Amino acid sequence: MRGATRLLQRLARTLLVVLLVVVGSTLLMRFAPGYLSDAREMDARYAGAARIELSAEAARSGTLWQLLSNEMHAWTKGSLGLSRQYDVPVLQLIGPRLAVTGSLMLRSIVLAWTLALCASLLSSAGRNPSMLWQAPAAVLLAVPTAAMATLSLLAGSGGPVLVMTLLLAARDFKFLDRTLRTAWRDPCLLQARAQGIPALRLVRAHILPGIRPQLLALATLSIVTALGALVPVEVIFNVPGVGQLAWNAAMNRDLPVLLAVTMIMAIAVTLAGMTSDRSIDWQAA
């Protein structure tokens, strides 16, 4: 009974977050400067048609609640509305791009975790933090994602997977290094190392099971970080994923597409947090 109550609370929290995301995105898009403007107005050949189209759009949008009700009504049809830019159902646009983005995120997270875990195990084995390991992570964290992607593109080496892997690995390394240093200082492990038990065995049998809750929290953080890096990476490398679609939707005032993308990202983040919390509860039990 207690578990069911917690599950219902988390589901309610997820629905509330999604609702706030939808309302906030609609509010920002609708009242952003230039929402009811079009570049075609500057061209005499298209100015008349553009003004008629914008007037009709302004009449349809009306207040914020009217705009939201129109979008919700479109969602009830199962297609998530009609794209303003492409004039096709939003679901048809998002479906193929989800696979591209999912593959990019999965490869980047797996590679980043492998790199960060190996580096942090080597770094934390010493008595004091080594600049050999700390400096590269600090430099990578100081470089913006868009700048890193641009440098990779100009250099003609690397790609979206490499940029996201380096970004995630740098953040994960800082967290894992601190966590592992704390774990190595445990008196039981110090005694085990003094008795000559191999470090690899200690890591597999004691350290990794002991820091499982922290690893689950880090998994959620990795997903959030990867979602935040999607837009600049996919736009700069011209990857046909959800991040690029969100950018095009924002640039072209395509509210149905933007709402669908932000809703999907909000659900992904909240579900990742719920999974992490649930796993930690099971671990504690």
The CA distance from 23 to 259, in Å, is: 9
Confidence (pLDDT) at 283:
46
Confidence (pLDDT) at 107:
93
* Confidence band of 285 (pLDDT split at 50, 70, 90): very low
pLDDT value at 268 more than 70: yes
pLDDT, tens digit, for every residue of 83-123? 877 778 888 888 889 999 999 999 999 999 999 888 888 88
- C-alpha distances out from residue 43 to 48, 84, 88, 146, Å: 9, 20, 26, 33
Confidence (pLDDT) at 74:
67
Looking at the domain 97-284, which fold is it? MetI-like fold (1.10.3720)
Confidence (pLDDT) at 103:
93
Q: 3-state DSSP call for residue 33?
A: coil
Token pair belonging to 203: 């890591």
**Closest among 176, 137, 146, 134 to 237, alpha carbons compared:** 146
* Section 244-257 average pLDDT: 83
Residues in the chain: 285
pLDDT, tens digit, for every residue of 27-82? 776 666 666 565 555 555 656 666 666 666 655 555 666 667 766 766 666 667 77
**Contact, 257 vs 93, CB < 8 A?**
yes
The CA distance from 103 to 92, in Å, is: 18
Count of Cβ atoms closer than 10 Å to residue 273 Cβ? 19
More confident position, 220 or 26: 220
Task: Answer whether 0.85 is exceeded by the pTM.
Answer: no
The CA distance from 82 to 80, in Å, is: 7
- C-alpha distances out from residue 79 to 54, 64, 89, 189, Å: 24, 22, 6, 56
**Closest among 232, 119, 210, 99 to 173, alpha carbons compared:** 119
More confident position, 284 or 195: 195
**Contact, 256 vs 74, CB < 8 A?**
yes
* Section 267-271 average pLDDT: 80
pLDDT, tens digit, for every residue of 172-212? 888 888 888 887 777 777 777 777 777 777 777 777 777 77
Mention every residue, 6+ apart, whose C-beta is less than 8 A from residue 133. 119, 120, 122, 123, 173, 177
Confidence (pLDDT) at 280:
47
Confidence (pLDDT) at 235:
92
Q: 3-state DSSP call for residue 159?
A: coil
Q: Where are the domains of the chain?
A: 2-61, 97-284
pLDDT, tens digit, for every residue of 130-184? 667 778 888 888 888 888 888 888 888 778 999 999 999 988 888 888 888 887 7
Confidence (pLDDT) at 108:
93
CA atoms within 13 A on the CB side of 56: 7
- C-alpha distances out from residue 67 to 22, 25, 60, 248, 266, Å: 11, 12, 7, 20, 20
Confidence (pLDDT) at 257:
85
